[in-house]
Structure 1
Amino acid sequence: MLTTIVGTLVLILHIAGVLAAMHAVMNTRTPQGAFAWALGLVLLPYITLIPYLYLGRSRFHGYVDLHRARRDQMHALASEQLDNGSASQELNERYGEIAQMLGARFHKGQRLQLLVNGDDTFEAIFAAIATAQRCVLVQFFIFQDDMLGKRMLQALIDRVRAGVEVCVLYDGIGSHALPHEYVETLLEAGVGVHSFATQRRSNRFQLNFRNHRKIVVVDGTRGFVGGLNVGDEYLGLSPPLSPWRDTHLEIEGPAVADLQRSFAEDWHWVTGALPPLLKPGPGHGTAHTLIAATGPADRQETCSLFFVSLIHAARRRLWITTPYFVPDQAVMAALRLAVFRGVDVRVLIPSIPDHRTVFLATSLYAHDAVLAGIRVFRYRPGFVHEKVLLVDDDTAVVGSMNLDNRSFRLNFEIAALNVDADFANQVETMLCDDFEHAYEVTVAEYEEASYVRRLAMHVARLFDPVL
């Protein structure tokens, strides 16, 4: 009897594995990913079936349908209430393809403030929130119920009590540890707060398609974007990853309207309504800024293409900081070609892991990069989480995008592409300091590693479609 039951269960698992493999072949975005999932599901359904339920789905419909069918409508509704500012008529020809791909544009006259660590970032954010008179929009991938999280909670409640409308979005998976009481406290105080999901009905089996964006907009005039979330670790208070290295950006000017539009699109999906949309202030700065909002609902793989275009634009220098260096073939090929053009290509990555599998895959890609003539550095003091890119002497990007498949194809991301020599000089100064606190990776790191560690690197790279 027991043998019959076991045999029946094995048969059911194999049938389920074959059906899931058919689904993977039809729906997985890349041939490599489809082959890997299909092979595992057919041969080892006992191991791969459950992970596929969580990670294998690469397409979804509800958000895509809204995003594609109503995107123009959403932009029109938002534009009725937003002053678009003065769009630059002198777009740099290097980045015209990015603007066309994203349906975005450069705004001139932005005033930018580089925020080089967690303390500076949240002091600026809290100071801005404290001045809010009409509306505060807040979106983070992670909210923690710790010291910083409680300070954010109180800051938002204080503004609601002052008659300010406050709207908050957080990612349900990224903020999985957030207690229900935290959200209830905000709701009871009158804060509009919602968890982002790509399906109307909750799907606990869906770990892909996370909203990784970090946006704060105050009264439509001051916007913040970058790599930090709401948690004590981002202030460097959580060993062993401390001191935490991260970067954020404050924007004043017409480009803030596009931060509002990105928030409004996500808010409309969750609530069916638009948040308050306020006219941005006039441009009194010198920077040209394009807000790049990318995600898996786009018809193109816009995040990967965003990086490819920026890399191809580099003629003298290309410096990149990223916590996860797991580039796809297009990005890696673009980096190699930049080296052949004589570009100074440097990549700054962590020397300590926060996710061990990703760290191992990053180490192997770092070795491949060094062999291709790309200079790779590991940051010594703590964990580097900043997502910054510097091109030549006038272009700098600050945002939420990592160099990995999740950002390229599975996450909703956002970044500010800024063309301004003075701001680029500030970013250069910041990155020079980062490189001074780093050591350069050589081929010896891989060649002198034990066989077991090198094997682990290669095994980890097999999982790069879901890292």
Structure 2
Amino acid sequence: MPSQETFAAILAAGLLIFHGLGIFLVIHALMNVRTSQGTIAWIVSLMAAPWIAVPMYYLTGKTRFTGYVRARRGGDADLRKLAEDMHRRLRHYEIKPDDAFGRAAEFLGGLPFTRGNELTLLIDGEETFEALFSAIASAEKYLLVNFFIVKNDRVGKRFQRALIDRAKAGVRVYFLYDELGSNKLSRAYLKELAAAGIAHASFGRNRHWISRLQLNFRNHRKIVVVDGKEAFVGGINVGDEYLGRDQRFGAWRDTHLKLKGPSVQAIQLVFIEDWNWAADEIPDLEWSGHAETADQIAAVIPTGPADPVESWQLVVAEMANTARERLWIASPYFVPDGGVMTALQAAAIRGIDVRILIPEKADHLLVWLSAFTYFEPSIACGIKLFRYTRGFLHQKVMLSDQLACVGTANLDNRSFRLNFEISALSADPAFSDEVAHMLEMDFAQSREVKVEEFTERSFAFRLACRAARLMAPVQ
């Protein structure tokens, strides 16, 4: 047993090391953390309690996803060649946007607007899973599957059987899931997939040892690609709650999107980037896109912490800046940063019909509490806030004039800076009208928020909301 003097010396040395690391990481935070709010929060924590803050900073403080290569921006030679070949094949379908937002979206996403697409809006879980399982069953060559959350419940087991059935039929299946989002997915579930010849990989635990120190980054994308001919993106994961079977949430309001045409190739490329990161492999796929008779223009915008700028934040802000009549946003979380908040306020002051639809119920307490602190600055500028009352609202949809966007990204810091997301957008009149009608139905099943819901609450509640907002940079 060490003496008390020895123990005290070891403790003092340990504290000295942690304080030294804390000072070093303060400099790192000053140089790298993207928001002043986040920088201040880390500096205070690292100086006041480095024995807690130092390990937390290594796990959650980084804002760049080290080592990830975006094929569309260069880097890995094989991925770059694949991206160049895809762009060349799509040149016949490519449409150069002539508006400010379109040019910005193309730049931020790194993928072209294309004509010849067919977009099918899928409302809620039953409609989405019916289309999804039908598409999976039709696969003849390969399936690309990426979900943030996959559960081993009734829907999850059906999903597993669907993949195994296609694998036994000779279809190549590539299954990617997020390590944290699917943390309850059992080894037995994955072993059954592997036994059927299905290639599977986790985005959080892979060949890159450094990714284990980047736990705050998550692959929040939901992607399914069938034979390179049709694809799905949107808000729905694989779990019973998305069919309204969760007793806590009840009815689950969500939106998904099925795409056919050249835009599928872009979604396929995004999957390959993620798969290559996780599995160190570039599968041989079909890249010759073809036009659908619907001939709808669409673009795919993948965003994430590997981008040189905060792409999703800029997409939302530019959508607000270029809106001329309306800007309707549905998101389960409303924790905008300063730039997005300013853009939304400016749009409302200009007379734009700005509406934000958020849930009545909370699934994550901190972000739910944080939203209350935005009631005053929003409503004062003319932004209308609505709470969806018929169950839990999880959809991620935006409508700016005639431009509609459906995807995986929320209106919060995680989507702005920490999550890998994917969205699809189109200004096709028929599609935009369909999205507008859907959102009108949602607003009809909602109540408008009053500023007094925050200002007239107890001091303790308002204090809790303010404290929760301080955690926004790391939520």
Amino acid in the other structure paired with 1:21: V
Larger displacement relative to structure 2 (247-256 or 33-42)? 33-42
Return the alpha-carbon distance in structure 2 between the equivalents of residues 49 and 273 of structure 1.
34
* Residue number in structure 1 paired with 2:116: 109
* Residue number in structure 2 paired with 1:225: 233
Amino acid in the other structure paired with 1:77: L
Return the alpha-carbon distance in structure 1 between the equivalents of residues 69 and 136 of structure 2.
32
Return the alpha-carbon distance in structure 1 between the equivalents of residues 65 and 21 of structure 2.
21
* Residue number in structure 2 paired with 1:456: 464
Return the alpha-carbon distance in structure 1 between the equivalents of residues 217 and 440 of structure 2.
34
Is residue 297 of structure 2 the alignment partner of residue 288 of structure 1? yes
Is residue 265 of structure 2 the alignment partner of residue 260 of structure 1? no
Is residue 337 of structure 2 the alignment partner of residue 328 of structure 1? yes
* Residue number in structure 2 paired with 1:52: 57
Return the alpha-carbon distance in structure 1 between the equivalents of residues 48 and 101 of structure 2.
48
Is residue 375 of structure 2 the alignment partner of residue 366 of structure 1? yes
* Residue number in structure 1 paired with 2:358: 349
**How far off is 1:17 after superposition?**
2.7
TM-score scaled by length of structure 2: 0.93
* Residue number in structure 2 paired with 1:173: 180
**How far off is 1:336 after superposition?**
1.0
Contact 1:318–1:343 at 8 Å: present in 2 too? Answer: yes
**How far off is 1:281 after superposition?**
3.2
Structure 1 residues 16-53: Cα deviation after superposition (integer angstroms, max 9, x where no partner): 43333233223322233222201111012244334323
Over 3 Å counting, the alpha-carbon distance change for 1:81 and 1:407 in structure 2 is closer
Specify which of 70, 74, 80 is matched with residue 75 of structure 2: 70
Specify which of 142, 152, 176 is matched with residue 135 of structure 1: 142
Structure 1 residues 76-125: Cα deviation after superposition (integer angstroms, max 9, x where no partner): 32554784251124644541122123222111121111101011111101
Contact 2:71–2:79 at 8 Å: present in 1 too? Answer: no
* Residue number in structure 2 paired with 1:4: 8
Contact 2:116–2:290 at 8 Å: present in 1 too? Answer: no
Amino acid in the other structure paired with 1:333: T
Amino acid in the other structure paired with 1:422: A
* Residue number in structure 2 paired with 1:160: 167
TM-score scaled by length of structure 1: 0.94
Return the alpha-carbon distance in structure 1 between the equivalents of residues 71 and 227 of structure 2.
27
Root-mean-square deviation (CA, aligned residues, Å) is: 2.1
Specify which of 380, 384, 390 is matched with residue 389 of structure 2: 380
Structure 1 residues 119-161: Cα deviation after superposition (integer angstroms, max 9, x where no partner): 1111101001111111111111111111111111100110011
* Runs of 4+ deviating beyond 6 Å: none
Structure 2 SS opposite 1:62: coil
After TM superposition, the structure 1 = structure 2 runs for residues 143-222 of structure 1, keeping only pairs within 5 Å, are 143-197=150-204, 200-201=208-209, 203-222=211-230
Over 3 Å counting, the alpha-carbon distance change for 1:420 and 1:193 in structure 2 is same
Is residue 399 of structure 2 the alignment partner of residue 390 of structure 1? yes
* Residue number in structure 1 paired with 2:44: 39
Specify which of 302, 309, 317 is matched with residue 300 of structure 1: 309
Structure 2 SS opposite 1:457: helix
Amino acid in the other structure paired with 2:152: D
- Structure 2 residues not aligned, in runs of 5+: none
Contact 1:78–1:277 at 8 Å: present in 2 too? Answer: no
Return the alpha-carbon distance in structure 1 between the equivalents of residues 363 and 386 of structure 2.
17
Structure 1 residues 380-434: Cα deviation after superposition (integer angstroms, max 9, x where no partner): 1221110000111x21000001111111111111000111111111111111111
Contact 2:207–2:279 at 8 Å: present in 1 too? Answer: no
Structure 2 SS opposite 1:417: strand
* Residue number in structure 1 paired with 2:66: 61
Over 3 Å counting, the alpha-carbon distance change for 1:78 and 1:96 in structure 2 is closer
Return the alpha-carbon distance in structure 1 between the equivalents of residues 51 and 61 of structure 2.
15
- Structure 1 residues not aligned, in runs of 5+: none
Amino acid in the other structure paired with 2:113: F
Percentage of identical aligned residues: 44
Contact 1:378–1:441 at 8 Å: present in 2 too? Answer: yes
Return the alpha-carbon distance in structure 2 between the equivalents of residues 215 and 185 of structure 1.
21
Query: How many residues of Structure 1 are paired with residues of Structure 2 in the alignment?
Result: 466
Amino acid in the other structure paired with 1:135: Y
Return the alpha-carbon distance in structure 2 between the equivalents of residues 91 and 203 of structure 1.
40
Return the alpha-carbon distance in structure 2 between the equivalents of residues 306 and 271 of structure 1.
30
Return the alpha-carbon distance in structure 2 between the equivalents of residues 209 and 53 of structure 1.
12
Over 3 Å counting, the alpha-carbon distance change for 1:395 and 1:315 in structure 2 is same
* Residue number in structure 2 paired with 1:125: 132
Return the alpha-carbon distance in structure 2 between the equivalents of residues 202 and 46 of structure 1.
21
Larger displacement relative to structure 2 (254-263 or 53-62)? 53-62
Larger displacement relative to structure 2 (304-313 or 13-22)? 13-22
Amino acid in the other structure paired with 1:381: R
Structure 2 SS opposite 1:109: strand
Specify which of 410, 415, 439 is matched with residue 407 of structure 1: 415
After TM superposition, the structure 1 = structure 2 runs for residues 425-436 of structure 1, keeping only pairs within 5 Å, are 425-436=433-444
Contact 1:63–1:199 at 8 Å: present in 2 too? Answer: no
Amino acid in the other structure paired with 1:226: G
Return the alpha-carbon distance in structure 2 between the equivalents of residues 286 and 365 of structure 1.
40
